[in-house]
């Protein structure tokens, strides 16, 4: 007879943390959110890769491209660039992240002198910032003839078809610096001249990029930036169980720091084969595997040599796997079951395998719950899709700004390498396991992450913990009844308008 688990499976919203004693040591500024990504002998050595905040972005077209990877690494987290694209494109994205030099930024908003005010406004809307380079041919590396910032035009007083050449600040009036200027020199020029951006130009007048005052301030204010030993941003890449023999060497060559097998069901012989191949050909590569939801799945992947293990089947916001296939487990129960198995594995072998809770984080406090239950970091899709830096379009729908967000198993993405069942690489998805959707637009990633982590730190302080490891040891959790969930929100009052959206 089939095995029926004794306990029903539960999700994050069914739990609360019970406060522990808070002491002088428990203030948010003393909380360390750094966390390991790669397995290690805890107590004897350090993990060879740690991230500075416990957040990684999902292996998804609508989430993790080079733009989001740069923005997230600058906040201290890590992106896994999506694998449902050609090896060449994915490697190009990895290269862009590794080449990114905090400070000198290629111009992403470019117009020509013949463009119009309307074009400038559309570009501002699309890119989310107000500085555009004016180049002779309107390209990012064309000959620089001026710049346009929001100080150069007044929409209420000017016709939308006014030519850029009539209102731009022309090159003669700009402070520029030659190619080869160091970041320190560039920042000094910015301060000395009281300007907000400094165009860097080649000897022949073509644009290299900009240095922005706000980036300097960001860098100073963000000691958490996730950098490798050469001071380049750290980036991950999704891989699959079909073409790893070509994809993995190319990604490592392009500079990927960590790989992650991307599959809706990772308890499979295909993952074993992929892990064995990678480990025998690239013993130093860091490679995570998943997804699993219970102790058996964990043990299988641990024995196959996974460096971290990802948990979650069917809990993603765009996911319909449970409806389509009837498989999965409530995310909270899955994390608890796997974390128990991980701790037993550690007690037996001395090897600590970091766990990633993937999918189903809806409220910020769910992050604290996932960590308390034993996850070392979280993978988030919906959360990151909402920000300016995600790759998808920002639209105005029914009176609000939204961003597009679609599942890898939706018809839109058709990531057959994630969803094809039999591993024979025929390239077909028999049915959808995800939907195409909108998520509420949430502004810049930095502000969003800062707020979410302020909440996580506050929760940890309330639970008397200053590190994730301490939190996992000390946390006390309780299952809540349906009526006490109602009690937890504002109730029995008439709320005034609020902008709170998570
Ligand atoms: P979210 O953070 O709740 O939006 O969940 C993101 C996670 O959902 C990803 O990291 C994947 O594990 C999973 N996922 C991505 N696309 C699909 C899909 O089309 N169907 C089911 N799960 C998906």
Q: What is the pLDDT of residues 234-249, one digit of tens each?
A: 999 999 999 999 999 9
pTM above threshold 0.85? no
Pocket test for ligand 1, best of 57, 58, 324, 392 (most atoms within 8 A of CB): 58
Rounded distance from Cα 216 to ligand 1 centre (Å): 35
Which sequence positions are flagged as catalytic?
319, 418
Closest to 265 (Cα-Cα) out of 308, 297, 237:
297
Q: How confident is the model at residue 106 (pLDDT cuts 50, 70, 90)?
A: confident
Give the mean model confidence (pLDDT) for residues 293-316: 97
pLDDT tens digits along 44-84: 999 999 999 999 999 999 999 999 999 999 999 999 999 99
In angstroms, the CA 34 to CA 325 distance is 36
pLDDT of residue 485: 82
Ligand 1: which of 381, 410, 419 to mutate, most ligand atoms within 8 Å of CB? 381
Q: Which is higher by pLDDT, 501 or 125?
A: 125
Residue 130 has pLDDT above 70, yes or no: yes
Which residues, in sequence order, are CB contacts of 227 under 8 Å at separation 6+? 73, 233, 234
Ligand 1 center–CA 83 separation, angstroms: 14
Res 49: pLDDT: 98
Grade residue 425 by pLDDT with cuts at 50, 70 and 90. low
Q: Which of 255, 252, 262, 285 is nearest to 85 (CA)?
A: 262
Given a cut of 70, whether residue 405 has pLDDT beyond it is yes
Atom 23 of ligand 1, nearest CA residue: 319
Q: Which residues line ligand 1 (CB under 6 A)?
A: 58, 60, 264, 312, 316-319, 321, 358-361, 379-383, 407-410, 433-434
Q: Whose CA is nearest to atom 17 of ligand 1?
A: 407
Q: Is the pLDDT of residue 502 over 60?
A: no
Which long-range contacts (C-beta less than 8 Å, at least 24 apart) are formed by 471-476? 471/368, 471/371, 471/372, 472/339, 472/371, 472/372, 472/374, 474/20, 475/17, 475/372, 475/373, 476/17, 476/18, 476/20
pLDDT score for 499 = 60
Q: What is the pLDDT of residue 426?
A: 65
| Ligand 1 centroid to residue 359 C-alpha, Å | 6
């Amino acid at each position: 007879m089939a095995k029926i688990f004794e306990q029903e499976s539960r999700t994050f919203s069914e739990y609360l943390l019970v406060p522990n004693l808070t002491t002088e040591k428990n203030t948010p500024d003393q909380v360390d959110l750094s966390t390991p990504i790669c397995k290690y002998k805890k107590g004897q050595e350090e993990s060879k890769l740690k991230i500075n905040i416990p957040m990684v972005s999902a292996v998804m077209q609508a989430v993790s491209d080079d733009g989001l990877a740069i923005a997230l690494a600058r906040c201290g987290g890590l992106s896994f660039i999506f694998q449902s694209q050609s090896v060449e494109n994915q490697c190009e994205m990895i290269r862009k992240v590794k080449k990114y030099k905090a400070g000198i930024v290629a111009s992403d908003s470019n117009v020509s002198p013949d463009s119009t005010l309307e074009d400038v406004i559309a570009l501002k809307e699309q890119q989310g910032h107000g500085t555009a380079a004016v180049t002779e041919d309107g390209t990012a590396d064309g000959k620089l003839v001026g710049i346009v910032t929001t100080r150069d035009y007044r929409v209420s007083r000017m016709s939308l078809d006014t030519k850029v050449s009539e209102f731009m600040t022309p090159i003669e009036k700009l402070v520029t610096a030659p190619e080869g200027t160091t970041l320190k020199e560039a920042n000094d020029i910015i301060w000395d001249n009281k300007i907000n951006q400094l165009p860097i130009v080649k000897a022949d007048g073509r644009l290299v990029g900009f240095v922005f005052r706000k980036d300097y301030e960001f860098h100073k204010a963000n000691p958490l930036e996730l950098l490798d030993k050469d001071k380049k941003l750290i980036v991950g890449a999704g891989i699959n169980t079909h073409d790893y023999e070509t994809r993995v060497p190319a990604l490592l060559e392009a500079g990927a720091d960590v790989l992650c097998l991307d599959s809706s069901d990772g308890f499979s012989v295909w993952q074993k084969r992929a892990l064995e191949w990678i480990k025998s050909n690239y013993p130093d590569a860091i490679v995570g595997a998943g997804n699993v939801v219970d102790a058996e799945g964990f043990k299988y992947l641990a024995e196959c040599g996974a460096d971290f293990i990802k948990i979650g089947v069917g809990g993603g916001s765009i996911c319909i796997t449970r409806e389509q296939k009837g498989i999965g487990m409530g995310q909270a129960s899955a994390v608890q079951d796997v974390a128990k198995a991980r701790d037993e594995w550690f007690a037996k072998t001395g090897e600590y395998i970091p766990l990633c809770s993937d999918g189903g984080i809806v409220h910020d406090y769910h992050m604290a719950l996932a960590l308390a239950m034993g996850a070392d970091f979280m993978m988030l899709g919906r959360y990151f899709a909402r920000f300016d830096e995600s790759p998808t379009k920002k639209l105005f729908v029914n009176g609000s700004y939204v961003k597009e967000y679609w599942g890898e198993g939706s018809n839109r993405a058709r990531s057959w390498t994630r969803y094809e069942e039999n591993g024979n690489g025929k390239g077909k998805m028999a049915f959808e396991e995800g939907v195409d959707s909108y998520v509420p637009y949430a502004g810049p990633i930095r502000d969003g992450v800062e707020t979410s982590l302020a909440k996580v730190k506050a929760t940890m302080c309330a639970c008397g913990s200053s590190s994730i490891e301490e939190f996992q040891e000390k946390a006390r959790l309780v299952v809540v009844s349906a009526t006490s969930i109602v009690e937890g929100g504002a109730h029995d009052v008439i709320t005034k308008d609020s902008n709170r959206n998570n």
